[in-house]
Copies of this chain bind each other. A is one copy, B any other.
Amino acid sequence: MSKTSQPKRKTERSLKHNHDACIQTALARAEVRCAQEGERFTGLRRQVLELVWSEHKPAKAYHLLKKLSDIRSGVAPTTVYRTLDFLQERGLVHKIESLNAYVGCSQPNAEHSGHFLICENCSEIREIENSKISAWLERAAQDEEFKIKTETVELLGLCIRCQPA
């Protein structure tokens, strides 16, 4: 496969993406974030977050459990769920409700619910930074005089690479 013959599209993550750097960025941001809030970013928390970030795909809790067992002892479901809870509360990971799985948050600074595009073919997941979405949904909710607290928006379909030509 000749790289030069391919147009460089932003969705083709594999062509442009140094994922090690991506993970390191996430870990560094988490460290800062925890420090700011007076929370400890312990070894366990770092390991779990790193595992969650190991791919741009939703990570299942019991898969994390297995991976974590390879690098630590005394790991039980509680360990993983407790740590994921901690990371969620700090906005460092999101739970994908329709998959019972977890992904690292790509914009952990702003307070937000994540909105996701999930490819049903390759499982790649992408958090959308479209600030209009929340505004739209709030407008729709206002028609019913409903006050939104948490938005679950998970759009399952095909990413550009997996769409038939």
Contacts and interface: CB of A to CB of B under 8 A. Distances in A.
Contacts of A154: 97, 151-152
B153 A141 contact: no
A89 interface: no
Nearest to A153: B153
Interface string A102-134: 000000000000010101100000101010110
Interface of A: 9, 11, 97-98, 115, 117, 119-120, 126, 128, 130, 132-133, 136-137, 140-141, 143-160, 163
Given A147-B163, A163-B147, A155 B126 contact: no
Given A151-B155, A152-B156, A155-B152, A140 B146 contact: no
B156 A144 contact: no
A153 B130 contact: no
B149 A158 contact: yes
B149 A128 contact: no
Contact of A137 (B11, B133, B145): B133
Interface centre among A117, A148, A155 (most CB of B within 10 A): A155
Given A97-B97, A146-B160, A133 B130 contact: no
